[in-house]
Amino acid sequence: MRRSYNGLKTAVLLGLLTALILVAGYGIGGSSGLIVATVLSLVMNGIAYFASDRIALRAMAAQPVSPWQAPQLHAMVRELAAEAGQPMPRLYVSRLAQPNAFATGRDPEHAAVCVTEGLLRMLSPRELRAVLAHELSHVGNRDILISSVAAALAGIVTSLANLALFLPLGSDDEDAPNPLATLLMLVLGPVAAGLIQLAISRSREYQADADGAHLSGDPLALASALEKIEYGTRSMPVAADGSLAAQAHLMIANPLAGGGMAAMFRTHPPTADRVRRLRELAGHRAGRTVTDRPMRTFDLMR
């Protein structure tokens, strides 16, 4: 029931983003603006569909790892992928010290999973397996494509708002930009698009937590991993103006610095809420952090 609700919610939110683009285009440039907005939407969605994986992996400076380089990591993912009925994804490791992970690719046949060296150092084998199950759930649910399309659509709204700065206001031409519509789109458009994008991202994270917990059979391990990752990302935040910022919505935890009002615009639900849901899923109202031996990088990379 929850899966169908999340799917409907995502479809509605994507529809709202598309409608916002068309309204923005028409409000800013009339019929011509509507055509420009439509073309931009098609082009950006094409880029998101075919190139999102390469863009994300390049931003993370991720390197592919073979079964000979990381036999245990490959064994974990292979077992989980078989359990999920999915093809084996490509595996990558980023040298980033911050603990994090993400999946990318438009469908299971073109998927890649990336983990950071910081994640390999911090998590136990049990916790790492739960994180990998979460990422494979994103792949199976086509969340990477959905998130990439949402990010592209939100970017179009922002681009149209920036374009409005260079358009003349006030004209007798019926097809000229409406000054009030232009002003509203300039101020409110990017905010609305961003909030819709974040709602999509947060909805998909909750679903991947639940599906990943089911795939691994260990909700408490994922809860423990999320707590450790939250601590690690707070200790080693990534600058919001870096190349990684555009890929933040793909990560298992928000990698960016920022608090206070910035928390409203985070791409992920609060970790405490995710942990609570996972513990309830496991049938525990109060859980404890898993104390397995932390996995050292060379355990999986030799």
Please work out, in degrees rounded to the nearest 5, the angle formed at the alpha carbon of residue 185 by the alpha carbons of 182 and 190.
150
**Known binder of ligand: residue 205?**
yes
> In Å, what is the CA distance from 299 to each residue of 18, 19, 62?
46, 49, 19
| DSSP 8-state class, residue 177 | P
**Known binder of ligand: residue 214?**
no
Element of type H or E holding 83: helix 71-84
Q: Taking phi first (over 0 means left), then psi (-120 to 50 degrees means alpha), and beta for anything else, what does residue 169 get?
A: beta
Tell me how far apart the alpha carbons of residues 275 and 206 are, in angstroms, rounded to a whole number.
10
Q: Please identify every residue annotated as catalytic.
A: 135
**Known binder of ligand: residue 134?**
yes
Question: Strand 112-116 relative to strand 101-104: parallel, antiparallel, unpaired?
Answer: antiparallel
Place of tokens 């919505």: 249
* Known binding-site positions for Zn(2+): 134, 138, 205
Annotated binding site: 134, 138, 205
